[in-house]
Amino acid sequence: MQKNIDDNKIIFPKNINGSPMYKRHRSEVKSTLKPMSTLLGDFLNATATKELRTLLDGQYFDYPKSVELLKIIVNQSTRKDDIILDFFAGSGTAGHAVMALNQEDEGNRKYILVQLPESTDEKSEAYKAGYKKISDITKERLKRVMKKLDYKEGFKSFYLDNSNFQVFKEVKKHPNESYEAIEKMLKMSMFHENILTQGAKPLDLVYEVGLKNGFSLSAKVDEVKKEPYSFITLSEEDRMFYFSFDKKIELNILDSLPNGVKLICYEKSLTTNVKLNLRENLDLEVL
């Protein structure tokens, strides 16, 4: 504080009731954002509609937003490594704009597009062309933009569904019961070994377990084959989980696993002895 006073950076009020203020010169004020005019120009829906019609080879979406307009807004309001979230994805214009802008300024922006499972009209050209939901149009547009721009990054598509774990299904059925009470009830039932819902798919389990352990949906997923075992790996930053959905697992699985990874597998795939030995040698989670 004394240094700021000595440098004449503090303005003391003449009024005894006032507050001191810090003084900055214009040359000291820096901003990473570029100012833009509030007069954004003439971005017609008709032009945007024509561009989308050309891209999709048909008139499948009414009143799309302008790619050029969103590029200006994104360029002004974000940095080159920001994540742009659009809760009303529609035809996917926001994703289109982000990819186009990244190509222009070598940015590394990411986008998250959210679209309700809204069906298209059965009499519409979109429905006749195979786009049963608005999100089908969104995904097709992104694919075509990537091909057109020769874009190196891909995208993942998810839909909201129920949990793959039986306990959460029961929680939904019994909203007035506590989680602990339902868990205890399942353990006491004759079906206590079936902790997963019927039809649970391996990849869905990978993502759900990953989310419960702090992974993001953009975490990298790979398939790894190391005889006699098959794995699905989930990795992000310095963390890696190995998932094995093999019906039988022996202690020799340790030979197929790198140091420091976590193994997730079916409990019914392990004998008691193998499970105890694995717990002594690695981080094990059973389903």
For the chain, the domains span: 45-149, 201-286
pLDDT of 27 higher than 70: no
pLDDT above 50 (res 152): yes
Confidence category of residue 42, pLDDT binned at 50, 70, 90: low
* Higher-pLDDT residue of 182, 284: 284
Of 112, 124, 123, 130, the residue nearest 62 (C-alpha): 124
Q: Which of 35-49, 72-86, 199-213, 271-285 has the lowest mean pLDDT?
A: 35-49
Q: How far is the C-alpha of 117 from the C-alpha of 126, rounded, in Å?
A: 15
The per-residue pLDDT for 195 is: 74
Please determine, for residue 268, whether its predicted confidence score (pLDDT) is greater than 60.
yes
Give the 3-state secondary structure of residue 263.
strand
Virtual CA dihedral for 100, 105, 108, 112, nearest 10 degrees?
Answer: -30
- Segments of 194-247 assigned E as strands: 220-226, 229-236, 239-244
pLDDT value of residue 21? 81
- Is residue 171 pLDDT above 90, yes or no? no
Q: Which of 28-42, 114-128, 209-223, 232-246 has the lowest mean pLDDT?
A: 28-42
pLDDT band at 285 (very low <50, low <70, confident <90, very high): very high
| Predicted local confidence at residue 192, as pLDDT | 47
Residue 4 has pLDDT above 90, yes or no: no
Would you call 208 helix, strand, or coil by DSSP?
Answer: helix
pLDDT bucket at 37, cuts 50 / 70 / 90: low
- Tens digits of residue pLDDT in 209-254: 999 999 999 999 999 999 999 999 999 999 999 999 999 999 999 9
Helix-strand-coil split of the chain, %, nearest 5: 40, 15, 45
User: What is the arithmetic mean of pLDDT over 3-21?
Assistant: 81
Between the alpha carbon of residue 254 and those of residues 214, 244, 245, 277, 280, the distances in Å are 25, 12, 15, 10, 11
Please state the rounded mean pLDDT for residues 72-89. 94
> Average per-residue pLDDT in the chain?
88
Q: Taking the CA atoms of 90, 91, 93 and 99 in sequence, report the sign of the dihedral they define.
A: positive
